[in-house]
Every structure is written in structure tokens, then in C-alpha cells.
Amino acid sequence: MTPETNHRMPSATPPSNEAGELPQPYLLFLGDIVEPGYAKTAFGLRDWAPERCVGEFACDGAKVSAGLAPMTPEQARSAGARSMVIGVANPGGLIPDGWLPGLLQALEAGLDLVGGMHARLHEIAVLRESAARLGRRLVDVREPPRGIPVASGRKRSGKRLLTVGTDCALGKKYTALVLARAFERRGLDVDFRATGQTGILIAGRGIPLDAVVCDFAAGAAEALSPAAGAQHWDVIEGQGSLMHPAYAGVSLALLHGSQPDVIVVCHEHGREHVLGYPGLLLPSIEETIDLALRLGRRTNPSIRCAGVSLNTAALDPAHAQRVIAAESERLGCAVADPMRGGLALDRLVEECLA
Amino acid sequence: MTPETNHRMPSATPPSNEAGELPQPYLLFLGDIVEPGYAKTAFGLRDWAPERCVGEFACDGAKVSAGLAPMTPEQARSAGARSMVIGVANPGGLIPDGWLPGLLQALEAGLDLVGGMHARLHEIAVLRESAARLGRRLVDVREPPRGIPVASGRKRSGKRLLTVGTDCALGKKYTALVLARAFERRGLDVDFRATGQTGILIAGRGIPLDAVVCDFAAGAAEALSPAAGAQHWDVIEGQGSLMHPAYAGVSLALLHGSQPDVIVVCHEHGREHVLGYPGLLLPSIEETIDLALRLGRRTNPSIRCAGVSLNTAALDPAHAQRVIAAESERLGCAVADPMRGGLALDRLVEECLA
């Protein structure tokens, strides 16, 4: 790999996520799914961006609801919706044919379509043709913006916090969202910076880091949290784990490009193996902290760990409180479950801002 | 990032590098460049794959030669060439208009075009149209193959060696090529596995790791060196450095996906700063070894470092020999400059095979 100057990531497909802001508010599309586990995006939007969601729409036979008002695309358009968001994934990651009538109905009703899957909306001819005919946009939030540069490694002004995980899918995004809101409540100037599809839909903008070409991944992380005022905070959604056999490269590029002043390490209590890799033990919290600080020092020598975000969703409240206190004692740092709030969370926030 | 099943990297552009083998032998195209530094690919092909090169062809005004027989595309076709390879980069990484007549001449003469830049041949309308009309292929070796899966993390049979650098552009590819040839001379069953454009042109196949979408980079490294016989060696071309502010993610994905049994750490004697990042000190050789072993253990717990490849091209032979001996003493391991050969290289090869 030779450094090249004036070198930017080529965009092979028309970038639809370029202008930054997504068309809002949204109608949430729930497809025909019957398993709530596939509706993570819809639930995330309901919980974190209710002001951006006017209602929900599903195919006949769907068994999952996000608890929003059911409405047709036509009703949603009248209620002010500007796009319909595909808020579910199907097991194969593709867009099944059964969803097409609903998607076409939304385009006809005057809504843009927003998708967050690796399968791209604009690769489906009937959607592409209808959108072109109707003057609607197909927005793939997993399509990175055009012209991402190679990382410069130069330190930027402003403060940055990155959530770092022991694994995928255990609360890095929610931790970042909770911390950003807590910073905001304390009157700080703060932006949540989204790096994955659900986060981008919640924030209404961001860069899908896992879809960026390798060479430009750290550069994308730099672009995501640009230079800012000295007291401004970017709270950046982490991805993957530095010990993940498939995604560690993404995590390292994000760590280097984010140049965090502060990391918060996220773990799910009781998870022992890498999700989807049953033979592979998770790294310990201590090892994750140590590795993230060692690697992160490369682009920010003053990086520090403020504490641990512990996902205790599987425990009852009293048990969770005991586990959180014991982990804080054992690790000698602030530990909180951001979804439970309380004094533990206050302490974690204080450690972030210390 | 949520693990997804049946999830493969989408290919937004028609993959031209899919079948694996490139059309050979080559005519080398030298463009109109006047600086030898931009002809790295052509020089690499001349040095490492002379049997694949029938001659060279340049625009009027070019000042650089690879020392091959000058010939027109028509003459090259008669001499058996099947493609013309763009063996130079221009400073902007683009294909200048001044090269187009030469490229079109090659298509007309019956040669396919092979390019290794981030700028893609098939994005230039006049080349695309001429190739379609003439039934020629435009092969972009920086276009990854279709359908790369997410890494499985599963240990594969066979033996693997990865070259790991303290920086970019200091000899990881050449070290891998020299070691693969040395293994071959000892009668071993070995494949050189290319991960960058020049390596791919030399080997006639490979995967351009830096052009793979992040999520699939470790999976690409797994696909590059598939399960093999217990005594078979893959000698894998390294990329970037684990401490590089822009490319460390690529290096880590390659390390995890390659699952090397053996690493050889590559360094250029006297280089103190990251190439292109004048304010950033290089990691030491010891730190690079330590970090690569620590991270590499994640997918191959028995990873070990066989020694160091030291680029001493700037030194005279006696000085180089002293430096190599002193570094071997200081580090307590085999150190050799693969381009100088000799007993030091023999020892490094023995340590790799120990």
C-alpha cells in the first residue's frame, strides 16, 4: 500500500446519503416479519427518535408492531411524513419480493424510501424505475458519502468520546445516545455521531462505517467528527470490537480516526462468547480497556477510559444493581447500565467529563 | 454492527477480477511519466514477473523505461501479449486524457486493458464503449471479487506466513516474494498471496485488500488463503501497519483473516517517521512484533515471529552487513535484507520453517 496524494474514495453508485440530512419525519415499514428480533431498527427509532416517526405500516400477515399509530403511506404523507424507512431486516439481508407492493405504494403516495440494509434499494429495478418516474429518492443509509479522504492523523479541536465494545450488538449505540443526552442535560454543546444504519436513522445523519472501503475507514471517522469548538463534545457510536475475528479492523479504524479523549467500554453481563462465534471467548473488560488505550494512544496520546457501560437487561433490578456495584468495585472504575440510569450513570457521566 | 447471516459483500460495479487469473502475458504501459518513482508497478513486474512481460509501450515524451523491448500494441499482440497493463500511477491517481489514445490503440490491437489504480478503467466512457464494441475486457485489479463473506474466524489447515510492517512502502511485498521463492527452492509447496495491485499483477491473481469494504476485509483475507494441505505454505503480502493512522484497520483485518503461523516484521533502516505523516514517529520493531503477536493470537494462538526483514537499499554493502548484524544482535532474532540474500537470508528462511 503506497500513500497516494489527492486520493479519495471512489463512489461506484450514486450516493444517496450525501447531503447529510435524511428526509424526515418517517413512516416506519415493518415488512412481513414475525420475529421482533428483526425489528431492531424500528424499535430504535421508536425509542430514540419518536419525534421523527409519524406512524407504522406493515404487510398483511406481519406480527410485529413498534407500537406506533398504524397508517397507510397516503395517511402518513398527509400527516407530514417525507419518507418511509425500512425498519426491519429479513434473515437473508435481502429485500423480499413480498415487500415490493408496500414499497411501491409509498413511492406512489409521495414518500421517499430509506433503507439501511447491505442490499441496496437502487439495485432493485422496479423501485429505481418508479422512483425516477415519480421524482422520489431512494436513500440507502449504508451508502457512504462521496469523496471520503484518507485519514490525515492530525489532531482536531473539540472533545470526543467513543464507545468501545467487548463484542457486537451489546449496547454501544444506546450507551452513546444516553451519554449524549446526559451531556446535553448538563448544558453542554454535544453531537451524537452515528456510524451504523440505526444510529444514522435516529440522528438523521452519519456515516455507515462498516460500508466504507478499508483504505478510507479511518478517514471516514475523521470526517464524521470534524474539528469543533474547544468545549464541544462529539459522542461517537462504536462498532464491533478490537478482538472480533471479522470486524476488528473496522473498530481500529474508528478508534484511530475518532481520536477519542475518552472511551467508555461496553459489555453485556454474562456474555461469554462472541455473538455468532460460539467457540470464541470474549475478551475481558480489562483486556478491552488496555488494548483500546494502547491502540488509541497512536492518534490521541491523552486518551483515557472513563468507565464501563454494562448491559444488564437480562437481570431483575435488584440483581442488576448488585452486579453493577460489584463490577465497579472489582474494576476500580465507574460502571453503569445506561438504560437503568440512577446514581451509577451520574458517576459515569461525571467521569467522562472529569 | 449486528452479525448478519448469509451476508456477503455487494458488488456495485461489474467485477472484472473475478475469474482469478489475469489475461497474460502483458505489454507494460508507461504513460507519459518523467519520474521513475511513479513506475513502481512496471518495475515490480519487470523484476518479479519477466516471463509475463513481452515489452513496454509509452506515450511520446515519456522519460521512464522499464528496460523492456519497446513495441507497439500491434507488435505486442503478435508477440503473444493478451493485455496491456498500466504500469504507472500519475500523481493524482487518475487516468489523464493524454493516455487515452494509447489505451484505445491497445484495445484496437486486440489487447485487454489491466489497471491497478483507484480510478477505474470502466468508469471512462470512451474506454468502456470501445471495449464493448471490440469485445475486449477492462480489468481493474483493484476491484475485489464478488461475494466475499464475513470472516468465520475458523482455523484453516495449511501453514501461513504474513509480512507485517512498521510502515507502508518499505518491502512487505518484496519480502514475501523472496521468501516464497526461497521456500520453493527448498522444494516446499508454496503460494505467494497478493493483496495489492502490483502483487496481483506479479502473481497474476489475488485480492486488493485495501479496496474491500471494511466489514468484509478479514473475510477477504480468509478467502485469499483457503484451507490447504498440512505442509502447504501461503506466503501473504502484508499491507500498511498496525500503527498507521489511516491504514491500521486494513492491517488488522489482514492479520486476523490470514491467521498466520509465522510473521516476518519488515522495516526500512533509518526511516523514523510514517511516510507522508512527517510529525508521526514510526513504532519500533520490538513494539511492532509485540503488537502483531498480541493481536494475531486472537485467530491463531500459536503465532510466532520468525525474524525481521530490514530494507537497507540506501546503504553500501559493507555498511548494510554491519547494520544487519547489529540489529540481529540487538533484537535477538534473525534479521536479513531479502534483496541482498546471503547467509542472513538463509537464517531467516530457516527460522520461518523452524
Q: What pLDDT, in 10s, does the model give residues B226-275? A: 999 999 999 999 999 999 999 999 999 999 999 999 999 999 999 999 99
**Position B65: which residue type?**
S
Task: List CB contacts of A278: < 8 A, sequence separation 6 or more.
Answer: none
B285 and B167 belong to one structural domain: yes
- pLDDT per residue over A142-156, tens digit each? 889 888 999 999 999
How high is the pLDDT of residue A101? 96
Write out residues 116-175 of A within 8 Å (CB-CB) of B: 118-120, 123, 150-153, 168-169
Give the structural domain span for A250: 159-353
How high is the pLDDT of residue A12? 46
Whole-angstrom distance, CA of residue A112 vs CA of residue A121: 11
A346 and A241 belong to one structural domain: yes
Give domain status of residue A37, yes or no. Answer: yes
Contact criterion met (CB < 8 Å) for A118 and B10:
yes
Q: Check CB contact of B253 with chain A, cutoff 8 Å.
A: yes
CATH of the domain at B104: 3.40.50.720
Write out residues 3-42 of A within 8 Å (CB-CB) of B: 3-7, 9-10, 12-13, 40
Q: Check CB contact of A306 with chain B, cutoff 8 Å.
A: no
A267 and A305 belong to one structural domain: yes
Q: How confident is the model at residue A21 (pLDDT cuts 50, 70, 90)?
A: confident
Contact criterion met (CB < 8 Å) for A91 and B6:
yes
Domains in chain A: how many in total? Answer: 2
Query: How many percent of chain B have pLDDT more than 70?
Result: 94
Give domain status of residue A2, yes or no. Answer: no
- pLDDT per residue over A289-332, tens digit each? 999 999 999 999 999 999 999 999 999 999 999 999 999 999 99
B108 and B61 belong to one structural domain: yes
A50 and A170 belong to one structural domain: no
Q: How confident is the model at residue B117 (pLDDT cuts 50, 70, 90)?
A: confident
B212 and B101 belong to one structural domain: no
Average pLDDT over residues B16-23: 63
Give domain status of residue B3, yes or no. Answer: no
